[in-house]
Amino acid sequence: MIRLAIVDDHPIVRAGLRQALSDTGDFEVIGDASDDSELASLLENTTCDVLLLDIALPGKSGLEILAWLRLTHPEIAVIVLSTHNETLYAVRALKGGASGYLTKLSPPEELAEAIRVVACGRKYLTPVLAEQVAHLIAGNPEALPHEALSEREIEVLRMICRGAKPQEIADTLALSVKTVGTYRDRLLRKMNMGSNAELVRYAAKHGL
């Protein structure tokens, strides 16, 4: 029996994952959590083999939680779930120690297969995404500026590029407007750029 835990801030998503996995005979969902504090409490009292982790969470992001898990629970295989079918997020997740990466649009059968694969200690990517990741790595032998950004900085960058105002970014990411300004300043400094327009041009060029 493979023991599973689910981390997602949307109750409907957690319930849907539970339902989708309940039809298999070799999975047991031992609990779920909406954020890092609930996950920490859950793992204090239960044993987990595979964790399904949403990449976009309020407060600590999925990749920040992944880093914490690698330090505190290295025995747990983590599958990162995302609404983004993008190589950038897959690469960042794998570099952070994830065992697999899937979009939330993946069929239940594929999720079940991924769980069984990572539970055996192997990595799981869809064939299409694996090919894209290989091309990305081969095409960018040197580190690009955005690879030094944190997950939260990437989220702020993407919202700036969509034209979101500071208050909208703050509301979406559960941050203060002042903190959003701090993240923007970090982005400009790390990317060696002087304006939002430069950020937008860079993001468009690199498919962010």
List residues bridging with 124 in a β-sheet. 100
Distance CA 10, CA 33 (A): 10
Residue range 73-115, pLDDT digits in tens: 999 999 999 886 667 778 788 888 899 999 888 888 899 999 9
**Structure confidence by residue, pLDDT tens digits, 56-70:** 887 788 888 999 999
CA separation (Å) from 9 to 120, 149, 179, 208? Answer: 27, 23, 21, 24
- pTM for this structure? 0.70
Residue pLDDT, tens place only, 134-149: 666 665 545 567 766 7
In angstroms, the CA 50 to CA 64 distance is: 17
Shared domain for 68 and 24, answered yes or no, is: yes
Are residues 192 and 112 part of one domain? no
| Same domain, yes or no: 57 and 150 | no
Say if residue 35 is in the same domain as residue 87: yes
| Residue range(s) defining the domain that contains residue 14 | 2-139
* Listed residues 139, 161, 189: the one ending a domain: 139
Counted domains in the chain: 2
